[in-house]
Amino acid sequence: MVNPVQKLDIVIPVNNEELNLKELVPNILKIIKNKKFFQFRIIFIDDGSSDKSPDIIKEFQKNDKRIKMIQNKDRMGQTFCYKKYLLKFKADYFLRLDADNQDNPTYINDILESMKFKYDLIITKRKLRKHSLLMIILSFLYDNFIKFLIKRNIETYSSSMVCFKKSFINGKNLRFNDHRYLPLITIDNGADKIKIINVIHEKRKYGVSKYNILTKIIFAIPEFLIFYFRLKKGTFK
């Protein structure tokens, strides 16, 4: 029996990542070349970049029609970027990926292999993380807190490289930092067949992180409690 072609979008929010894009885009194109059973698009959401990131994406677009770009005039944040994607594009699956090259796109191969088994949700778990010790501890506490809340023993819920079956996510009501909780939204909406793939986390080579660890520490708990209340209220159904 021949598997039907699956439509997969690789969705990448971008803010001032021109040097990373010069490496990332060719690597992705190489990986997806000649992959059977998949119809790909690479969708960049430029989130108010002030460098040459949009120009670099446009140059790649000239040679590959699968590359698309949405542009935000100002920086709106990742949740808004994913919301714009979800409301604008239709696909069977979408794979979220950061533009900083800390998640090696080579692991897309492993995700594609897993997709052949029709998983609802494929999450990568970072090994040997290049984050600060504090960030690693916070992620550990978060993952275990979620396990306690939803009574499901999944190894991690905090990953920037995740493949979702798109039918489980309605982007309409996303706000704040809801992009962080897309795996939880997917599970709450019925995703049951879940795969974890171990990956090696790599050090950022170019640019600087937009992640503010102090803000995370101060607002993490109230932010999550507000999200969880909205989740249980059925906001994301």
Binned average pLDDT, 10 residues per bin, the chain of 237 residues: 79 97 98 92 98 98 97 96 97 97 95 94 82 70 79 82 96 94 95 94 84 66 91 95
- Nearest alpha carbon to residue 90 among 190, 13, 165, 185: 165
Q: Would strands 194-200 and 121-127 be described as parallel, antiparallel, or unpaired?
A: parallel
Report the pLDDT value the prediction gives residue 138, as an integer from 0 to 100: 74
Q: What is the pLDDT, as a whole number, of residue 23?
A: 97
Q: How far is CA 69 from CA 54, 168, 203, in A?
A: 8, 24, 26
Task: Give, as one character, the DSSP assignment of residue 99.
Answer: S
Tell me the C-alpha distance between 133 and 130, whole Å.
9
Give the residue ranges of DSSP H helices in the chain.
18-32, 53-63, 78-88, 108-115, 133-150, 182-188, 213-232
How far apart CA 151 and CA 156 sit, in angstroms, is 13
CB under 8 A, 24+ apart: contacts of 31-34: 31/105, 31/106, 31/108, 31/109, 32/108
* Contact criterion met (CB below 8 Å) for 127 and 197: no
Helix (H) or strand (E) holding 195: strand 194-200
Nearest C-alpha neighbor of 29 from the set 81, 93, 92, 106? 106
Query: How much is the pTM?
Result: 0.92
State the Cα–Cα distance between residues 154 and 147, nearest whole angstrom: 7
Q: Amino acid letter at 126?
A: R
- pLDDT at res. 201: 86
Least Cα distance to 89 among 166, 187, 176, 162 occurs for 166
